[in-house]
């Protein structure tokens, strides 16, 4: 007997589901709970503790404790106490504990297939870290975007004869939305119509906002003492801060059921009385954006959703359901344990043998999702990535004007470092080069793409295979090799300044991010490159079995990045097409 196991590795908690002999997925209880804490703790002897064990050990020395390793995925290493721990090892410790619990549930049987979920905005870099962390835990490994898994679960379990459903997933660190619709023809087949994601907000951010609010209430009696507690310079302060953070998180959960609660505070601070109204005022803006994201996904899908399902622990906040009803016009549905939906849906989404793909995607919007036994195929992904969180304590997150979502990419992720927003903290900022108004450029013959604010032409034997309106991205591939790695990706980012007037600001931001991204296999940065008769910033990236040549240019306060990804056998073909794309690129 072999087990099929799904692990939903979350920011704050991880859920494990198991299917034994093809039966319905069941959630594995860990330490008596439906979810496992994602926290890790590095002991002085080098051992990594996970879950409740990590939380208990954190009382000894909080500096060795990382509560949210998923938020550190963009960093190569963690400093836990005096021990340097590779991020891959920290994630592997969580995944390994999850698989261990699944095997215990299955009587020690081997794991034949491990399905891992990830945010819709994770790209090739992040998903590769996740896959590396899981190597050796199973015979086969498959990756599925979280909103797709949630949509499959609800479509398969609750949708009945609904023509389309939307799933709003508010997890510990991200917001993900997916819309699935019933495909025409006989059977019960669904297909993914639209997906959107926001990496700048999640349940951990709600906790941080509430902690700041409590601090404003109680710190007047001893501002220096409160600052010392939050900054955690001394061991005693770090211990007190950990307890306060846990009590604040508990208060948030209580406010989902009651209209007020009290948060116990250590001496010399008075206990804090907080109300649901206080919490709603703190998170009204980001929750409103999450619901608008759902409405935008429904609009992009071009359908009328019959149901809206709420997923993720933070979807319990009553304001979420109220906003969905007010702005979308549908009373949403949720489960008693919404944090278990993604893990269960992942096993429904990937049934049996799965095609191995170096990257899993969600932006190809015609992926079949069946409610029968046939396995859906998930195309290669394109994620969005949150800025990396510094070593504890985390800096306060400002909700009034959060950074816009990072742009998605096929393999690499591009960071617009100088652009007032850190875009995609994983694959390098795309900042540009040349100067503003170039003369009109003659368009070479070929197929014209003019979907967003940029226009380019590509060879006749290439075709567009994906696009994303939220991130202004287009992906094209050779018409006879759509399943291969050879591709060209174009992404656009609006800039908050004119790089023609302040080139050093733009290039300087790229230069710094390039130096910091030592784990992204980047090389050959050229700040004054020339390609296809254009002034460009160039760099190279190695990803899996392919190479990506990046060309970044700007015009009219826009930054356009062209990634030309090729295998050894496809280099000449890709670079010839890339020359045409870069040469013909104009910003409207």
Residue 148 main-chain phi, psi, to 5 deg: -70, -45
Q: Indicate whether 153 belongs to any domain.
A: no
466, 365: one domain:
no
Place of tokens 């690129």: 585
Between CA 317 and CA 555 the distance in angstroms is: 43
482, 362: one domain:
no
Distances in whole angstroms, Cα of residue 375 to Cα of each of 27, 155, 160:
21, 14, 19
Query: pLDDT by residue (tens digit) across 131-142?
Result: 999 999 988 899
Q: If DSSP states are collapsed to H, E and C, what string results for 451-492?
A: CCCEEEEECCCEEEEEEECCCCEEEEEECCCCCCCCEEEEEE
pLDDT at residue 244 tops 80: yes
Confidence of residue 515 (pLDDT cuts 50, 70, 90): confident
459, 346: one domain:
no
Confidence of residue 236 (pLDDT cuts 50, 70, 90): confident
Write down which residue in 325, 350, 370 finishes a domain. Answer: 370
Around 344, how many Cα atoms within 13 Å sit in the side-chain half-sphere?
Answer: 22
Between CA 120 and CA 378 the distance in angstroms is: 12
- Mean pLDDT taken over the chain: 78
457, 366: one domain:
no
Between CA 245 and CA 248 the distance in angstroms is: 5
CA of residue 253 relative to chain centroid, distance: 23
Residues 6+ apart with CB under 8 A from 72: 66, 78, 87, 90, 388, 389
Residues 6+ apart with CB under 8 A from 570: 478, 481, 484, 485, 486
Q: Indicate whether 407 belongs to any domain.
A: no
Confidence of residue 146 (pLDDT cuts 50, 70, 90): confident
Q: Which residue has the higher pLDDT, 84 or 454?
A: 84
Helix (H) or strand (E) holding 514: helix 503-516
Whole domain around residue 27: which residue ranges?
3-148+342-370
CATH number of the domain enclosing 22: 3.30.420.40
Sheet containing 307-311: give its strands across. Answer: 333-334, 307-311, 164-170, 175-182, 189-198, 368-370
Locate 317 and state its tokens: 């906040």
How many domains does the structure of the chain reveal? 2
21, 140: one domain:
yes
360, 456: one domain:
no
Q: Which residue has the higher pLDDT, 397 or 316?
A: 316
Q: Indicate whether 480 belongs to any domain.
A: yes
Query: pLDDT by residue (tens digit) across 386-429?
Result: 333 333 333 333 333 333 333 333 344 333 333 333 333 333 33
Helix (H) or strand (E) holding 54: helix 52-58
Q: Indicate whether 202 belongs to any domain.
A: no
Residues β-bridged to residue 464: 476
Residues 161-177: what's their mean pLDDT?
81
Residues β-bridged to residue 40: 50, 66
CA of residue 437 relative to chain centroid, distance: 36
Q: Could you tell me whether strands 26-27 and 13-20 are parallel, antiparallel, or unpaired per DSSP bridges?
A: antiparallel
pLDDT of residue 111: 92
pLDDT of residue 96: 95
Between CA 25 and CA 17 the distance in angstroms is: 6
Q: Indicate whether 290 belongs to any domain.
A: no
pLDDT of residue 154: 79
Q: Indicate whether 236 belongs to any domain.
A: no
Write down which residue in 331, 354, 370 finishes a domain. Answer: 370
Q: With 0-12 CB in 10 A as exposed, 13-18 as middle and 19+ as buried, what is 108?
A: exposed
Q: If DSSP states are collapsed to H, E and C, what string results for 201-213?
A: CCHHHHHHHHHHH
Q: Which residue has the higher pLDDT, 425 or 289?
A: 289
pLDDT of residue 416: 39
Query: pLDDT by residue (tens digit) across 205-235?
Result: 899 999 999 999 999 889 999 988 888 778 8
Give 271's DSSP letter. Answer: P
Write down which residue in 370, 387, 408 finishes a domain. Answer: 370
360, 472: one domain:
no
Distances in whole angstroms, Cα of residue 522 to Cα of each of 214, 488, 531:
43, 18, 19
Q: Could you tell me whether strands 462-468 and 473-478 are parallel, antiparallel, or unpaired per DSSP bridges?
A: antiparallel
pLDDT of residue 155: 74
Highest mean pLDDT among 118-132, 394-408, 513-527 belongs to 118-132
348, 469: one domain:
no
Three-class SS of residue 262?
strand
Contact 294, 166 (CB under 8 A): yes
10, 143: one domain:
yes
Distances in whole angstroms, Cα of residue 509 to Cα of each of 328, 385, 495, 527:
39, 17, 13, 11
Locate 475 and state its tokens: 């992906």
361, 488: one domain:
no
Q: With 0-12 CB in 10 A as exposed, 13-18 as middle and 19+ as buried, what is 132?
A: middle
Angle between helices 203-218 and 223-231 (to 10 degrees): 160
CATH number of the domain enclosing 516: 3.40.1000.10
Angle between helices 124-134 and 87-105 (to 10 degrees): 50
Q: Could you tell me whether strands 586-587 and 454-458 are parallel, antiparallel, or unpaired per DSSP bridges?
A: antiparallel
Q: Indicate whether 289 belongs to any domain.
A: no
358, 492: one domain:
no
Helix, strand and coil content of the chain, in percent to the nearest 5, comes to 30, 30, 40
Between CA 429 and CA 514 the distance in angstroms is: 8
Residues β-bridged to residue 117: 144
Confidence of residue 380 (pLDDT cuts 50, 70, 90): very low
Confidence of residue 585 (pLDDT cuts 50, 70, 90): very high
Q: Indicate whether 462 belongs to any domain.
A: yes
347, 462: one domain:
no
Residue 2 main-chain phi, psi, to 5 deg: -115, 145
Three-class SS of residue 77?
strand
Between CA 229 and CA 239 the distance in angstroms is: 9
Q: Given phi > 0 = left and psi -120 to 50 = alpha, else beta, which region is 81?
A: left
- pTM, 2 dp: 0.55
CA of residue 581 relative to chain centroid, distance: 29
pLDDT at residue 440 tops 70: no
């Amino acid at each position: 007997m072999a087990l099929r196991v799904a692990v939903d590795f979350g920011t704050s908690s991880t859920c494990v589901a198991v299917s034994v002999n093809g039966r319905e997925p069941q959630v594995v209880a860990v330490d008596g709970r439906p979810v496992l804490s994602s926290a890790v703790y590095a002991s002085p002897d080098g051992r990594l503790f996970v879950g409740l064990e990590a939380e208990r050990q954190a009382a000894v020395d909080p500096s060795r404790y990382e509560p949210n390793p998923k938020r550190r995925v963009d960093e190569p290493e963690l400093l836990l106490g005096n021990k340097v721990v590779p991020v891959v090892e920290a994630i592997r410790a969580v995944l390994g504990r999850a698989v261990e619990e699944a095997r215990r549930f299955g009587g020690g049987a081997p794991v034949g297939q491990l399905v891992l979920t990830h945010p819709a905005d994770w790209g090739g870099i992040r998903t590769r870290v996740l896959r590396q962390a899981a190597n050796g835990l199973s015979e086969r490994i498959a990756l599925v975007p979280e909103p797709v898994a949630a949509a499959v679960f609800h479509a398969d379990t609750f949708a009945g004869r609904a023509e389309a459903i939307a799933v709003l997933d508010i997890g510990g660190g991200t917001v993900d939305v997916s819309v699935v619709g019933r495909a025409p023809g006989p059977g019960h087949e669904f297909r993914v119509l639209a997906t959107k994601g926001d990496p700048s907000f999640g349940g951990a951010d709600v906790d941080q906002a509430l902690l700041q609010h409590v601090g404003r209430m109680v710190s007047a009696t001893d501002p220096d003492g409160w600052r010392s507690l939050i900054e955690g310079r001394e061991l005693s302060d770090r211990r007190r801060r950990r307890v306060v953070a846990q009590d604040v998180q508990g208060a948030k959960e209580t406010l989902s059921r009651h209209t007020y609660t009290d948060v116990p505070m250590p001496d010399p601070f008075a206990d804090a009385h907080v109300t649901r109204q206080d919490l709603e005022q703190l998170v009204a803006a980001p929750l409103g954006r999450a619901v608008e994201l759902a409405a935008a996904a429904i609009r992009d899908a071009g359908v009328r959703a019959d149901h809206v399902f709420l997923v993720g622990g933070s979807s319990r906040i009553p304001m979420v359901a109220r906003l969905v009803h007010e702005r979308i016009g549908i009373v949403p549905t949720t489960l008693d344990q919404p944090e278990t939906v993604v893990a269960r849906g992942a096993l429904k989404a990937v049934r049996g043998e799965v095609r191995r793909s170096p990257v899993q995607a969600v932006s190809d919007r015609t992926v079949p999702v069946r409610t029968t036994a046939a396995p859906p195929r998930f195309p290669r992904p394109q994620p969005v990535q949150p800025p990396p969180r510094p070593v504890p304590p985390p800096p306060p997150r400002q909700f009034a004007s959060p950074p816009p979502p990072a742009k998605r990419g096929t393999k690499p992720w591009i960071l617009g470092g100088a652009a007032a927003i850190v875009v995609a903290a994983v694959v390098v900022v795309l900042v540009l080069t040349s100067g503003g108004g170039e003369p009109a450029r003659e368009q070479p013959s070929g197929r014209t793409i003019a979907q967003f604010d940029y226009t380019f032409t590509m060879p006749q034997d290439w075709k567009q295979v994906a696009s994303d309106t939220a991130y202004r991205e287009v992906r094209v591939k050779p018409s006879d090799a759509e399943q291969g790695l050879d591709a060209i990706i174009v992404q656009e980012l609006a800039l908050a300044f004119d790089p023609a007037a302040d080139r050093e600001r733009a290039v300087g931001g790229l230069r710094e991010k390039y130096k910091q991204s030592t784990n992204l296999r980047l090389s050959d940065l050229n700040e004054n490159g020339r390609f296809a008769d254009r002034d460009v910033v160039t760099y190279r990236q190695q990803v899996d079995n392919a190479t990506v040549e990046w060309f970044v240019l700007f015009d009219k306060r826009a930054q356009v990045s062209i990634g030309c990804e090729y295998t050894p056998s496809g280099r000449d073909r890709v670079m010839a097409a890339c020359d045409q794309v870069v040469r013909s690129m104009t910003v409207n």
